[in-house]
Structure formats: C-alpha cells, structure tokens
Amino acid sequence: MVDGQGRAIDYIRISVTDRCNLRCVYCMPEDGTEPVSHEEILRYQEIERLAGIFAKLGVRKIKITGGEPLVRKGIENLVKNLKKISGIEQVTITTNGILLGEKLKVLKEAGLDGINLSLDTLNPEIYRQITRREGLEKTLDGIKNTLEDGQIPLKINCVPMGVPGQNVEELAKLSQRYPVHVRYIEMMPIGLGKNYQSVKEDQILEKLEAVYGKAKGYEGKLGNGPGHYYEFPGFAGKIGFISAISHKFCEECNRVRLTSQGFLKTCLQYETGVDLRKLLREGAEDSSLEQVIQKGILCKPKCHHFLQDGDEKTEHRIMSQIGG
C-alpha cells in the first residue's frame, strides 16, 4: 500500500483501549480521563476484520497499543487471532510492564513477536513523580521474567524529560548487561506533552558517551519504525533514538494508527483521518472499507510541523486517547 508521497505503508499501530493503570504526566491528567464506554471501543472481532483488510492492502506488521493494552481482558486472544491473518508477519505490543509478569506466559503462547516496554527512569522516587503511581518493582519483575524466559525480544523505551534525578543514562545499563535495546524518544508536543521541553538526541548521546565511551553508528535495521541505533563498547544490546523533533523522519514514515474507537489516523500530529467504526457498524462491505482506507492513506500528510504554531488541524487529544 502506497500513500500519496510514494511511501510504502506496511505497519499499523492498533490501540485497544484508552485506559491505563498509570498516570504519566505527559500522557494523562492526574485524575485520568472520562473513559469511553465499552460500546464505543472496537470489539476484537472488528479489529480482526480491519486487520485482515489492512493485510490485504499490504500491511505486514501490527503493534498493539493503549492506553495500556494489558488491562484489556483477553488481549492474548487478539494476539493469537491477528497472528493467523494471512499476510501479517509480526504482531508486537507496547506496555508499561506492570502486568507483564502475569501475562507473559499467555502472550508467549499466543505467538507475540516482541515487546516494547515504556520505562522513563530507574529511580523509584522519580518514577512515582512521572507516573503518579507505584509500579516500578512490578515493571522490573516483568523485565526480569521476559529476559529469563528469552523467547520474546524486548526493547525499553524512555522519554527524557530533563527532570532532576531521572538519570536516563542509567537505563543504558540494561542494554550493557542484557540483549535489550534501550531507546530514547524525544518528547513530542502532542496533548500534555506540550507542557514539557523535549530533550534532544544529541544531548542524550553526549551524556551516554561520557559514561560508556564513544558510540558507533549501527547500520543495520532493528524494528519496524523510525528508530536508528548506536553500538557502545561491550554492550550486549544497542542504544536507539526516535527523534521526531531533531531528526525528522517523515520521508521514511511507513505507519498509520487505528485508535481504540476505530478512527484511522495517518499522521500523529493531525486530527484528520477516517472513522472506520462508523462504517463497520453501518454494515459496510470489505470492499467499501478497503476503498475508504486506500483513499485515506493517499491523503496521508507529507510531514509533521510540530515546531510551527497555529495549525487548526493539529491533534488536541491526549496520547492515551490516540494510541501513541
């Protein structure tokens, strides 16, 4: 499937819930948001049907997101059924890791291909400050269990915020000791993220090199998205960066997003897209859905303009509502 800029779209992020067991300051208000009703959320059967259509159009990789996807009951069944769809080569999940320990066995049995775990600090006090919740020990247990099991590849995602004590360079020790890729993601000015300063890739890399030695660019491909990686001396894993602000990667964008309410977003910055839930529940045939999806993707924006103000089409929902 090719968009209007000639980019091959082979990757979709599918949100299954807007609910979460944390309240990260850049993602959700302290008191949370008014959760949408279960009727407004896509049923698993609807997600599977749409995934089949996307696969027919050329999507090969699916990332399950939230909110926190592991809070949705029976998520392992969705993984299992998505894996059965002809053309789908990979199904992965993003999680904060709190429920990972208890869900790891069933996710492995379902055939999950990878886990992206969000963890912004190893400092318990700063973890509570950022997430407004307890949970660091459960997350670390989930990481430990996944590494000991050794069957599902694991990546750690960190959003540097410049918070005193966050010590983002400490997270790199996980990549030093274990075959885990630690990735640093620049804060994007979406939703509550607008309230925080983005710490740029070059700043983080300088800190890492001061602790771990000179980095060497890694030329290989790791993962499905826009991350690029470095090798550090003696590290078992790689260090990656997803730098939408300082290293704009729109020319190579290969992804679209489906929110938990069935809205197809073709660019994270913009509110524009297609309401697929409405069409599904009005009885649209697969052929009609296919045409609408193709038309929507042809209109995928050329690039984001995060650093420019005044665009009335800019996304106003918070990250938990759009799937990240």
pLDDT for 146-182, tens place per residue? 999 999 999 999 999 999 999 999 999 999 999 999 9
Write down the pLDDT at residue 143: 97
Q: How far apart are CA 158 and CA 24, in angstroms?
A: 12
Domain locations along the chain: 11-156+252-322
| Cα-to-chain-centroid distance, residue 294 | 23
Q: How far apart are CA 285 and CA 288, in angstroms?
A: 5
The Cβ of residue 82 has, within 10 Å, a number of other Cβ atoms equal to 23
Question: Does the structure show a pLDDT above 80 at 320?
Answer: no
- Between 114 and 247, name the one with better pLDDT: 114
pLDDT band at 34 (very low <50, low <70, confident <90, very high): confident
Rounded average pLDDT over 200-206: 95
Note the pTM of the prediction, 2 decimals.
0.91
Mean pLDDT over all residues of the chain? 90
CA distances from 195 to 117, 133, 161, 204, 304 (A): 23, 20, 11, 20, 19
Question: Does the structure show a pLDDT above 60 at 32?
Answer: yes
Question: Does the structure show a pLDDT above 90 at 97?
Answer: yes
Which CATH superfamily groups domain 11-156+252-322? Aldolase class I (3.20.20.70)
Question: Does the structure show a pLDDT above 70 at 106?
Answer: yes
